[in-house]
Amino acid sequence: MYPLVRMTDFPPAMLDAVRSARHVVALTGAGVSAESGVPTFRDAQTGLWAKYDPMELATPEAFARDPALVSRWYDERRQMRLTTQPNPGHHALVRWEALQRAGGESFTLLTQNVDRLHHAAGSVNVVELHGSLMVWRCTACGEEREELGPAFQQHPPRCGTCGGTRRPGVVWFGEALPGQALEAAFDALRRCDLFLTIGTSAVVHPAASFLHDAAEHGAATIEINRDHTPASDVVGWTLRAKSGEALPAMLDAAFG
């Protein structure tokens, strides 16, 4: 039976681990953005996109086959993201990072999310493992631009510098994660003494293996997830709750 924690009585040992951590690493997934109204990656697709499998659309092959379709799908998600706000889970992570920094300790936020809601909430040390929906890159000259404006007029959009085709700056299935992001993640994992996996199904690698890397270095481990995941059976504590409720409650219990 995995160490299920009720929201009403956090184990003292878990709160001690939160209070005493010198190097916190938090891995977040789509579940952290769910309470902002952003559908999770494996939620059923709705509307026009109901007939498409995200696993099929989020690939270089799909973009090569039908660049306009893939561009429209990502641009619709970009537009939807521009109407959403960070939720209490995002804000709790900002509070925790500030507490760590004030105490001369470290806090690293590794996110699989491409929505930049952690940035919007005020998180500073954010590592985007899977890129960002808000950045589009030219496939010809490589120019990257953050796009915070209205929907593109043309799909896929063209590069203003060289006229090449632009694509979303996200990592697609089969593509390598950004080298710098991976390096930053492994550096943080080597030093971490408290690792949290929050709102992720813990099935996509390499992020899904970070829990094991942290535990191997002796870190305490906590999962916060609405549902059971493969991580639930190996973490020190698992909170079966929404991150927007569990994170603020856990920090209040630990730090007042």
Residues taking part in catalysis: 130
- Piece of 14-22, 28-36, 75-83, 145-153 that binds ligand OAD (CB under 6 A): 28-36
**Which residue type is seen at 114?**
V
Of 41 and 63, the one with the shorter C-beta distance to ligand OAD is 41
Of 81 and 242, the one with the shorter C-beta distance to ligand OAD is 242
Place of tokens 């789509």: 30
Place of tokens 């099935």: 203
Work out how close the CB of 69 gets to ligand OAD at its nearest, in angstroms, rounded to a whole number.
Answer: 17
For CA atoms 14, 18, 109, 94, the dihedral sign is positive
Work out how close the CB of 30 gets to ligand OAD at its nearest, in angstroms, rounded to a whole number.
Answer: 3
Of 159 and 198, the one with the shorter C-beta distance to ligand OAD is 198
Residue nearest to ligand OAD (CB): 31
Work out how close the CB of 115 gets to ligand OAD at its nearest, in angstroms, rounded to a whole number.
Answer: 10
Which residues are bridge partners to 4 per DSSP? 238
Work out how close the CB of 151 gets to ligand OAD at its nearest, in angstroms, rounded to a whole number.
Answer: 21
Q: Which of residues 191-250 bind ligand OAD (CB under 6 A)?
A: 199-201, 204, 225-227, 229, 242-244
Q: Which of residues 79-108 bind ligand OAD (CB under 6 A)?
A: none
Q: Which of residues 141-180 bind ligand OAD (CB under 6 A)?
A: 171
Of 33 and 100, the one with the shorter C-beta distance to ligand OAD is 33
What helix, strand, coil percent values describe the chain, rounded to 5? 40, 20, 40
- Which of 29, 86, 156, 169 is in the footprint of ligand OAD by CB under 6 A? 29
Q: Mapped to the 3 state alphabet, what secondary structure does 101-142 carry? A: HHCCCEEEEEECCCCCHHHHHCCCCEEECCEEEEEEEECCCC
Q: Is the bond leading into 156 cis (omega within 30 degrees of zero)?
A: yes
Alpha-carbon span 233 to 214, nearest angstrom: 15
User: Is residue 148 exposed (0-12), middle (13-18) or buried (19+ Cβ within 10 Å)?
Assistant: exposed
Half-sphere exposure of 147 (CA within 13 A, CB side): 30
Contact residues toward ligand OAD (CB under 6 A) are: 29-31, 34-35, 40-42, 58, 112, 130, 171, 199-201, 204, 225-227, 229, 242-244
